[in-house]
């Protein structure tokens, strides 16, 4: 592509980072997806963004499909392309968005892994004889109690937590803030952690982060992943347990008990209820398993 097209791409990616405030992970994904389109344009001698038509974008999606890319990955690429052209529209550089009505083939939607209530109880019943164990119990209880994403958990500051009101203010995707309840067990674990948190702070330091490591710095996402994996193995749990599994378990257990999909959507911070609906499939799968095992006329699974 010509130099001006690549400059425009850089401007859009800079817009995503500075104005849209996308996370580094999401920003990197957008960069990869749009570079894939750039390579496609070079292959078919498309010099600049206004030269692409809806037919070209559809052909790009088809090429991705032939390469073996999954439906969800193609959807993500098309979303990145639509975003680029929306940016060009706002800048007055084009007259319409050629990617507007292009849709990827629907891929199979994988159900998220969850822990049942007994497994969650086992995971959360850890020995809290060390400061780091007290911290780990508090963060695990909070993730499960309030359905937090890993990035939301590690981004929490002390003022975000109001234990008197039983609430926590969370900054989620797209810098959107929501306030969610904190359960009794989580509040008790957090109170215990706040009582010893200062032991990990170097003298004279002023750290706002709710969860900190040995050096007094904000706890990194990777550290949470490692600690959760260690606790799961120590508690004798089978399979890999990852932080997002606690959020999935929160949603599944809440929906199973309440049946209120809209409330679960609000608590999870999902912009689209279709994202939350995956948990209805998960709950139905559980019911189907119970039916197959219990009903006299059902086909029993091996």
| pLDDT above 70: residue 176 | yes
Question: What's the half-sphere exposure (Cβ side, CA atoms, 13 Å) at 72?
Answer: 6
Pick the catalytic residue from 135, 149, 197, 227.
149
Q: So what's the pLDDT on residue 95?
A: 85
Q: So what's the pLDDT on residue 109?
A: 55
**Any catalytic annotation for residue 76?**
no
Answer yes or no: do 127 and 255 share one domain: yes
CA-based angle 289:294:298, to the nearest 5? 80
Pick the catalytic residue from 15, 20, 173, 178.
173
* Position 99 in a domain: no
Q: Which residue has the higher pLDDT, 207 or 159?
A: 159
**Any catalytic annotation for residue 247?**
yes
Pick the catalytic residue from 17, 27, 244, 286.
244
**Any catalytic annotation for residue 65?**
no
Q: So what's the pLDDT on residue 302?
A: 45
Reported as a pLDDT band with limits 50, 70 and 90, residue 266 is confident
Answer yes or no: do 15 and 129 share one domain: no
Q: Which domain holds residue 275?
A: 117-292
| pLDDT above 60: residue 281 | no
- The answer to whether 286 and 115 have CB atoms below 8 angstroms apart is no
- The answer to whether 49 and 85 have CB atoms below 8 angstroms apart is yes
**Pairing label, strands 167-171, 161-162:** antiparallel
Name residues whose C-beta falls within 8 Å of residue 134's C-beta, 6 or more positions apart in sequence.
128, 189, 192, 193, 196
Q: So what's the pLDDT on residue 259?
A: 67
Answer yes or no: do 258 and 162 share one domain: yes
* Position 106 in a domain: no
Answer yes or no: do 143 and 276 share one domain: yes
Handedness of CA 286, 232, 119, 235 (dihedral sign): positive
Number of domains the chain is built from = 2
Reported as a pLDDT band with limits 50, 70 and 90, residue 224 is very high
Answer yes or no: do 150 and 232 share one domain: yes
Answer yes or no: do 139 and 245 share one domain: yes
* Position 102 in a domain: no
- Average confidence score pLDDT of the chain: 84
Answer yes or no: do 123 and 45 share one domain: no
**Any catalytic annotation for residue 244?**
yes
| pLDDT above 90: residue 288 | no
* Position 274 in a domain: yes
pTM of the entire predicted model: 0.59
* Position 158 in a domain: yes
CATH number (domain holding residue 191): 1.10.443.10
Q: So what's the pLDDT on residue 295?
A: 56
* Position 207 in a domain: yes
Span 22-31, pLDDT tens digits: 888 888 988 9
């Amino acid at each position: 592509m010509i130099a001006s097209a690549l400059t425009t791409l850089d401007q859009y990616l800079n817009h995503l980072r500075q104005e849209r405030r996308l996370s580094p992970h999401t920003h990197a994904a957008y960069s990869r997806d749009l570079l894939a389109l750039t390579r496609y344009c070079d292959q078919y001698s498309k010099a600049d963004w206004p030269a692409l038509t809806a037919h070209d974008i559809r052909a790009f999606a088809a090429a991705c499909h032939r390469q073996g890319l999954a439906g969800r990955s193609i959807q993500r690429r098309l979303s990145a392309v639509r975003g680029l052209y929306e940016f060009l529209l706002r800048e007055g550089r084009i007259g319409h968005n050629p990617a507007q009505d292009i849709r990827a083939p629907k891929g199979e939607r994988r159900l998220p892994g969850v822990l049942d209530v007994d497994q969650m109880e086992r995971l959360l019943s850890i020995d809290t004889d060390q400061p780091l164990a007290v911290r780990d119990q508090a963060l695990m209880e909070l993730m499960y109690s309030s359905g937090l994403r890993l990035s939301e958990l590690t981004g929490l500051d002390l003022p975000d937590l109001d234990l008197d009101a039983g609430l926590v203010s969370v900054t989620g995707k797209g810098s959107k803030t929501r306030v969610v309840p904190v359960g009794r067990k989580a509040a008790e674990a957090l109170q215990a952690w706040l009582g010893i948190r200062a032991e990990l702070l170097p003298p004279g330091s002023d750290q706002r982060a709710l969860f900190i490591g040995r050096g007094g710095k904000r706890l990194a996402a990777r550290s949470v992943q490692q600690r959760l994996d260690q606790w799961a193995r120590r508690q004798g749990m089978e399979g890999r347990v990852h932080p997002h599994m606690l959020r999935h378990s929160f949603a599944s257990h809440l929906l199973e008990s309440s049946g209120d999909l809209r409330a679960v959507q609000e608590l999870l911070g999902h912009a689209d209820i279709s994202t939350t609906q995956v948990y209805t499939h998960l709950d139905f799968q559980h019911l189907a398993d119970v039916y197959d095992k219990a009903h006299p006329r059902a086909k029993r699974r091996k």
